[in-house]
């Protein structure tokens, strides 16, 4: 049985300052959205931290971030996935790349379908910032 766990509160917005404290991965791409503004949203998947066994370097947990930015508005998510020890050849810890680890994360989350779901949730947050449907306050001063 394969073991993995999604420990992160996906959809949680992170302060920009907190995002910059984490290692930034090189997996970024843009997706045009079709609305009146013709904005383009950039999604950046990052590896914030990894936990590994010191004896063999096998990574057991990856903490990841996903940031979305359309140039005006932004949203972010943070999560963790647990990994099982690989069968067969092990890639040495020093040879791991952000792209490789992010690929593992996305696979463990459920592949392209789950990636699209996460990015759609972030896009919904950006859309809500652009055109709010709720407001707070009182009508008197």
pLDDT, mean of each 10-residue run, the chain (141 residues):
32 33 46 59 98 96 98 97 93 96 97 98 97 95 89
Phi and psi at 97, nearest 5°, equal: -120, 160
Question: Given the structure tokens 């302060």, which residue do they identify?
Answer: 15
Indicate the domain borders of the chain.
Answer: 16-130
List the one residue out of 79, 69, 76, 81 whose CA is nearest residue 13: 76
Sign (positive or negative) of CA dihedral 40, 46, 48, 51: positive
Full-model pTM:
0.72
Structure tokens of 8?
């992160």
Sign (positive or negative) of CA dihedral 89, 58, 29, 11: positive
Query: Is residue 78 a contact partner of residue 64, using CB atoms and an 8 Å limit?
Result: yes
C-alpha span between 122 and 136 (Å, rounded): 22
Q: What pLDDT, on a 0 to 100 scale, did the predictor assign at position 30?
A: 58
Half-sphere exposure of 6 (CA within 13 A, CB side): 15
């Amino acid at each position: 049985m394969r073991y993995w766990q999604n420990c992160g509160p996906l959809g949680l917005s992170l302060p920009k300052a907190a995002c910059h404290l984490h290692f930034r991965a090189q997996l970024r791409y843009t997706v045009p959205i079709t609305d009146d503004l013709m904005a383009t949203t950039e999604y950046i998947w990052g590896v914030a931290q990894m936990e590994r066994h010191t004896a063999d370097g096998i990574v057991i947990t990856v903490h990841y971030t996903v940031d979305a930015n359309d140039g005006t508005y932004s949203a972010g998510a943070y999560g963790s996935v647990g990994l099982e020890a690989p069968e067969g050849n092990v890639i040495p810890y020093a040879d791991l790349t952000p792209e490789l680890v992010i690929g593992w994360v996305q696979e463990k989350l459920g592949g392209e379908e789950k990636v699209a779901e996460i990015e759609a949730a972030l896009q919904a947050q950006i859309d809500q910032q652009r055109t709010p449907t709720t407001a707070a306050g009182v009508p008197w001063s």
